[in-house]
Structure 1
Amino acid sequence: MARDEQVAETEGGGKKKTFIIIGAAVAAVVILGIVAFMVMGKGDKKEAGKEGAKTEAKAEGGHGTASAGEGGGASRMLALEPFIVNIYDGQELRYLKVKVEMEMAAPMAKTEIDERLAPIRDGILVLLSAKTLHDIQDAQGKNQLKEEILLTVNKLIPPGKVAKVYFTDFVVQ
Structure 2
Amino acid sequence: MAAKDEQAKEEKAPGGKKKLFIIIGAAVAAVVVIVVVLMLTMGGSKKEGGADKKAEAKSAGGHGGGAEAGKGGGGTVFPLEPFIVNIYDGQEVRYLKVKVEFEMATPEVKAEVEARQAPLRDAILVLLTTKTLQEIQDLQGKNQLREEILTAVNKILPPGKVTKVYFTDFVVQ
Normalising by structure 1, we get a TM-score of 0.69
Match of 2:96 in 1: 96
Q: Structure 2 CA distance, aligned partners of 1:157 and 1:50?
A: 20
Normalising by structure 2, we get a TM-score of 0.69
Q: 1:50 to 1:21 in 2, by over 3 A?
A: farther
Match of 1:87 in 2: 87
Query: Identity percentage over the alignment?
Result: 48
Match of 1:54 in 2: 56
**1:171 matched to 2:171:** yes
CA contact (8 A) 2:80 2:100 kept: yes
Q: Structure 2 CA distance, aligned partners of 1:59 and 1:141?
A: 25
Match of 1:27 in 2: 24
Q: Structure 1 CA distance, aligned partners of 2:121 and 2:141?
A: 20
The code of the aligned residue for 1:165 comes to: V
Match of 2:155 in 1: 155
The unaligned stretches of length 5 or more in structure 2 are none
Counting matched residue pairs gives 161
| Deviates further, 112-121 or 98-107 | 112-121
Alignment match of 2:13 (pick from 13, 16, 27): 16
Structure showing greater Rg? 1
Q: Give the RMSD, CA atoms, in angstroms.
A: 3.5
Deviation beyond 6 Å, 4+ runs, structure 1: 47-50
How many Å apart are 1:150 and its aligned residue?
1.5
Instruction: Output one character per residue of 1:103-136: Cα deviation in whole Å (capped at 9) or x when no partner.
Output: 1011111222123323322221111012223433
Match of 1:36 in 2: 33
SS of the residue aligned with 2:102? strand
